[in-house]
Amino acid sequence: MKIVFGDLRTEVLYLPLWRKLPLPRSRRCNRAVETLNHMIRLMIAERRTSNVQRNDLLGMLLAERDEHGSIMSDQQVHDEVLTMFLAGHETSALTLTWALFLLAKHPEIQERAAQEAFLITTGLGLLPEDYEKLVYIRAVVQETVRLYPPVWSLGRSTRRDTTIGGLTVRRGTHV
Ligand code: HEM
């Protein structure tokens, strides 16, 4: 994850051709991607062969059927899992890290957040239906991502000549 994410930041400047050459960076990144792929292949194979039905995201993807009643291929499930894994990993980790940092700096807010958690979960652990009741904690998280956005930049390619904020942007520009 660290290698793939580290490289993502400068990926814009790295040409697809270089990725195919045996340069140190390409080899390191391709190896890391292969490790991720291998891990996910194992997870899917393990779940498909076991009879255990688990009510989690992978369980939902494996049970899903399209309009013809067909299940997803291993490759389709794989791609979905990889997307969720990449998109959900560092974003959540950064949000939690900064939220805990901010709470540590503001003990009175930490106390109120803890009280809300105890009140809502009554010591039984968090249930999906609890989330909407965590009003104060949601505010803490929202303030955290406002102050320390985990995704502070996004890339887009223009499909036609256009104007953004008064600037002319040519088709095919990476913004
Ligand atoms: C605080 C946590 C998170 C933040 C700040 C965040 C932020 C974002 C942003 C800004 C986008 C839009 C990207 C774009 O348009 O180019 C996005 C898309 C996405 N995120 Fe998150 N995300 C978070 C957590 C998660 C988690 C936990 C998951 C999954 C387990 C996830 C899965 C996705 C997926 C699949 C997309 C693509 C949606 C689509 O284009 O159809 N995200 N996220």
98 token code pair: 């900064």
Q: How far apart are CA 117 and CA 84, in angstroms?
A: 27
Q: Which of 88, 120, 148 is the last residue of a domain?
A: 88
CA distances 81 to 23, 62, 70, 88, Å, are 28, 11, 18, 10
Does a structural domain hold residue 96?
no
For residue 103, give the amino acid letter.
L
Which helix or strand (DSSP H or E) is residue 2 part of? helix 2-8
**Is 94 a member of any domain?**
no
69 and 124 both lie in a single domain: no
Ligand 1 centroid vs 88 CA: distance in angstroms?
7
Same domain, 134 and 66: no
Do 15 and 78 fall into the same domain? yes
172 located within any domain: yes
For residues 2 and 63, state if they share a domain: yes
Q: What angle do CA 52, 53, 54 make, to 5 degrees?
A: 110
Provide the number of structural domains found in the chain: 2
Mean pLDDT value of segment 86-90: 87
Supply the mean pLDDT for the chain: 89
Check whether residue 3 and residue 53 sit in a common domain.
yes
**42 shares its domain with 78:** yes
Structure tokens of 154?
Answer: 């996004």
CA angle in degrees (0–180, nearest 5) for 24-27-28:
85
Residue range of the domain that includes 27 = 1-88
CA distance 104 to 110: 7
Give the nearest ligand 1 atom to 156 CA: 16
pLDDT band at 9; cut points 50, 70, 90: low
Encode pLDDT of 97-134 as tens digits: 999 999 999 999 999 999 999 999 876 788 888 999 99
Does residue 122 belong to any structural domain of this protein? Answer: yes
* pLDDT for the residue numbered 123: 67
**63 & 111 share domain:** no
Mark whether 121 and 84 lie in a shared domain.
no
Could you tell me if 73 and 128 lie in one domain?
no
Q: Are residues 83 and 5 in the same domain?
A: yes
Out of 88, 123, 141, pick the residue that ends a domain: 88
Q: Establish whether residue 57 lines the binding site of ligand 1, counting it when its CB lies within 6 angstroms of any ligand atom.
A: no
For residue 71, which phi and psi values (nearest 5 degrees)? -85, 170
Q: Any idea which of 3-7, 42-46, 71-75, 133-137 has the lowest mean pLDDT?
A: 3-7
Residue 76, ligand 1, Cβ within 6 A: no
Ligand 1 probe mutation, 96, 151, 156, most atoms within 8 A of CB: 151
Between the CA of 23 and the centroid of ligand 1 the distance, in Å, is 31
Please name which of 85, 84, 62 lies closest in space to residue 72, comparing C-alpha atoms. Answer: 62
Q: Whose CA is nearest to atom 15 of ligand 1?
A: 154
59 and 129 part of one domain: no
Whether residue 22 is found in the same domain as residue 79 = yes
